[in-house]
Amino acid sequence: MNDTAIIVPMYNEGKVIKNVLKELISKVPYDIIVVDDCSTDDSYQQACVKGVYLIKHIVNLGQGAALQTGIEFARKLGKKYVVTFDADGQHSVEDIEPFLNVLRENKADIVLGSRFLGKAENMPEYKKHVLQLSRYFTYATTGMWFTDSHNGFRAINIKDFPNFNISQNRMAHASEIIDLIKKNKMRYVEMPCTIKYTDYSKQKGQSVLNSINIIFEYASGRLIQ
């Protein structure tokens, strides 16, 4: 089916990206769009796997910006659905089809992954607590409850929602996506997904202190709007 693209935002994943993309290509029949957010290692070269669309930001903008670039490119290619998929190997390719089936059956406009409904292999304890806190933050700012409000695995109907556009460049985009669901009156559902925490991905993950940055970016973005 040519109506779907997998968007893979990437920053310094030279060690793993080739394997991630090869697995995606071997298991799903969809176009893959990799957005390199100005990596400083050889990620761009490693990501040039046959059949993959490759886009490069000439300046590092952030994961939110990379996702939006992927979404805009997917719209240019005429795609109806996108799945956002992390470049570090944490996400499971097997979760893609069940998420897309929900969109295709018109049961929702956006499907959000939840590691707490699914599986979080080797998740650090502190991360569990930080994510639980983020649920309360999301509820306080939007009135919406999620079991996992900061999960990068999502399937989105971008064609019927042309105003679904991420403006937060960095990690506050995850909170902004919840706002976009509300503003665009999108039907949403959470589904179980698997997040695999490896030594590699744990070392690359966000620090707890970055949560304060995220709150500040999100709050100032909303105030300015």
Partner 1 sequence: MVVILGYLVLFAFILNPQWADKVAKFFGIESGAALITYISIALLSLISIVLYVKQKNQNESITKIIRHIGIKDAKKC
- Rounded CA-CA distance 70/102 in Å is 21
3-state secondary structure of 91: strand
- x/- binding map, residues 29-68, to partner 1, per CB under 8 A? ------x-----------xxxxxxxxxxxxx-x---x--x
When asked if residue 72 is in the footprint of partner 1 (CB under 8 A), the reply is: yes
- Rounded CA-CA distance 65/38 in Å is 12
Stretch that binds partner 1, among 83-91, 133-141, 203-211, 216-224 (CB under 8 A): 216-224
When asked if residue 172 is in the footprint of partner 1 (CB under 8 A), the reply is: no
Cβ distance 84 to 7 under 8 Å?
Answer: yes
When asked if residue 215 is in the footprint of partner 1 (CB under 8 A), the reply is: no
Q: Which of 119, 178, 193 is nearest to 145 (CA)?
A: 178
When asked if residue 73 is in the footprint of partner 1 (CB under 8 A), the reply is: yes
81-84/154-157 β-pairing:
antiparallel
Looking at the Cβ atoms of 187 and 222, the one nearer to partner 1 is 222
When asked if residue 222 is in the footprint of partner 1 (CB under 8 A), the reply is: no
Residue 132 is encoded by which pair of tokens?
Answer: 């639980």
The phi and psi torsions of 41 (rounded to 5 degrees) equal -105, -155
Looking at the Cβ atoms of 68 and 90, the one nearer to partner 1 is 68
Interface with partner 1 (CB under 8 A), residue from 1, 26, 29, 76: 76
The phi and psi torsions of 124 (rounded to 5 degrees) equal -60, 145
Give CA separation, 44 vs 47, 48, 88, in Å: 5, 7, 14
Cβ distance 128 to 74 under 8 Å?
Answer: no
Looking at the Cβ atoms of 59 and 140, the one nearer to partner 1 is 59
User: Which residues face 112 on adjacent strands?
Assistant: 154, 190
Looking at the Cβ atoms of 127 and 222, the one nearer to partner 1 is 222
When asked if residue 1 is in the footprint of partner 1 (CB under 8 A), the reply is: no
When asked if residue 19 is in the footprint of partner 1 (CB under 8 A), the reply is: no
| Smallest distance, partner 1 to C-beta of residue 73, A | 5
Cβ distance 96 to 1 under 8 Å?
Answer: no
| Smallest distance, partner 1 to C-beta of residue 132, A | 30
| Smallest distance, partner 1 to C-beta of residue 167, A | 7
Q: Which residues bind partner 1 (CB under 8 A)?
A: 35, 47-59, 61, 65, 68-69, 72-73, 76, 167, 169, 220-221, 224
